[in-house]
Amino acid sequence: MMIRTVSTQPFNDQKPGTSGLRKRVPVFQQPHYLENFVQSIFDSIAAPRGAALVLGGDGRYYNREAIQIILKMAAANGFGKVLVGQGGILSTPAASCVIRKHQTFGGIILSASHNPGGPEGDFGIKYNVTNGGPAPEKVTEAIYARSKQIAEYFILDAPDVALDKIGVSKLGDMQVEIIDPVADYAGLMASLFDFGAIRNLLASGFRIKFDAMHAVTGPYAREILEQQLGAPAGSVMNAEPLPDFGKGHPDPNLTYAHELVEILYGDNAPDFGAASDGDGDRNMILGKKFFVTPSDSLAILAANATLAPGYKAGLAGIARSMPTSAAADRVAQALDIPCFETPTGWKFFGNLMDADKVTLCGEESFGTGSNHVREKDGLWAVLFWLNILAARKQPAENIVREHWVKFGRNVYSRHDYEGLPTDAANSLMQHLHDSFSGLRGQQFGQYEIQFCDDFSYTDPVDGSVSTGQGVRIIFTDGSRIVFRLSGTGTEGATLRIYLEAYEPDIAKHHLDAQTALAELIRIAEEISQLRKRTGREKPTVIT
With residue 422 as reference, give the H or E element that holds it: helix 422-439
Cα–Cα distance, 537 to 530 (Å, whole number): 9
pLDDT computed for residue 347 by the predictor: 80
pLDDT computed for residue 52 by the predictor: 98
441-473 confidence digits (pLDDT tens): 999 999 999 999 999 999 999 898 989 999 999
Tell me: pLDDT of 331 over 80. yes
Q: Which of 300, 349, 304, 342 shows the shortest CA–CA distance to 324?
A: 342
In order of 177, 268, 357, the CA distances from 130 in angstroms are 19, 47, 19
Q: Which residues are catalytic?
A: 113
Tell me: pLDDT of 348 over 60. yes
Cα–Cα distance, 13 to 388 (Å, whole number): 45
Cα–Cα distance, 402 to 84 (Å, whole number): 45
Q: Predicted confidence band at 367 (pLDDT cuts at 50, 70, 90)?
A: very high
Average pLDDT over residues 242-271: 95
Beta bridge partners of 122: 24
Beta bridge partners of 174: 171
How are the residues of the chain apportioned to helix, strand and coil, as percentages rounded to the nearest 5? 35, 25, 40
116-141 confidence digits (pLDDT tens): 999 999 999 999 999 999 998 889 99
The rounded percent of the chain whose pLDDT value lies above 90 is 94
Q: Predicted confidence band at 150 (pLDDT cuts at 50, 70, 90)?
A: very high
Taking only Cα atoms into account, the Rg of the chain, rounded to an integer number of angstroms, comes to 23
pLDDT computed for residue 346 by the predictor: 83
With residue 33 as reference, give the H or E element that holds it: helix 33-45
In order of 248, 261, 266, 396, 520, the CA distances from 273 in angstroms are 19, 8, 12, 10, 30
Dihedral of alpha carbons 275, 27, 97, 142, sign: negative
Average pLDDT over residues 403-418: 95
Q: Predicted confidence band at 29 (pLDDT cuts at 50, 70, 90)?
A: very high
**φ/ψ (deg, to 5) at 360:** -110, 150
Q: Which of 499, 527, 529 shows the shortest CA–CA distance to 439?
A: 527
79-126 confidence digits (pLDDT tens): 999 999 999 999 999 999 999 999 999 999 999 988 999 999 999 999
Q: Predicted confidence band at 486 (pLDDT cuts at 50, 70, 90)?
A: confident
Tell me: pLDDT of 144 over 80. yes
521-533 confidence digits (pLDDT tens): 999 999 999 999 9
Average pLDDT over residues 508-516: 93
Tell me: pLDDT of 491 over 80. no
Cα–Cα distance, 380 to 390 (Å, whole number): 15
CB 122 within 8 A of CB 277: no
Average pLDDT over residues 12-34: 94
Q: Predicted confidence band at 488 (pLDDT cuts at 50, 70, 90)?
A: low
With residue 406 as reference, give the H or E element that holds it: helix 396-407
Domains by residue range for the chain, with CATH: 2-181 (3.40.120.10), 185-407 (3.40.120.10), 409-542 (3.30.310.50)
Residue 9 CB partners (closer than 8 Å, separation 6+):
32, 151
pLDDT computed for residue 543 by the predictor: 85
Dihedral of the CA atoms 68, 73, 75, 77 (nearest 10)? Answer: -170
* Winning range, highest mean pLDDT, from 59-68, 429-438, 483-492: 59-68
Mean pLDDT value across the chain: 95
**φ/ψ (deg, to 5) at 264:** -75, -25
299-320 confidence digits (pLDDT tens): 999 999 999 999 999 999 999 9
CB 180 within 8 A of CB 33: no
The burial of 41, by beta-carbon neighbours within 10 Å (0-12 exposed, 13-18 middle, 19 or more buried), is given as: buried
Residues in the chain: 543
Of residues 407 and 347, the one with the higher pLDDT is 407
pLDDT computed for residue 17 by the predictor: 81
Cα–Cα distance, 54 to 131 (Å, whole number): 12
In 77-150, alpha helices (H): 92-102, 137-147
Q: Which of 287, 288, 308 shows the shortest CA–CA distance to 296?
A: 287
Average pLDDT over residues 201-220: 98
pLDDT computed for residue 490 by the predictor: 55
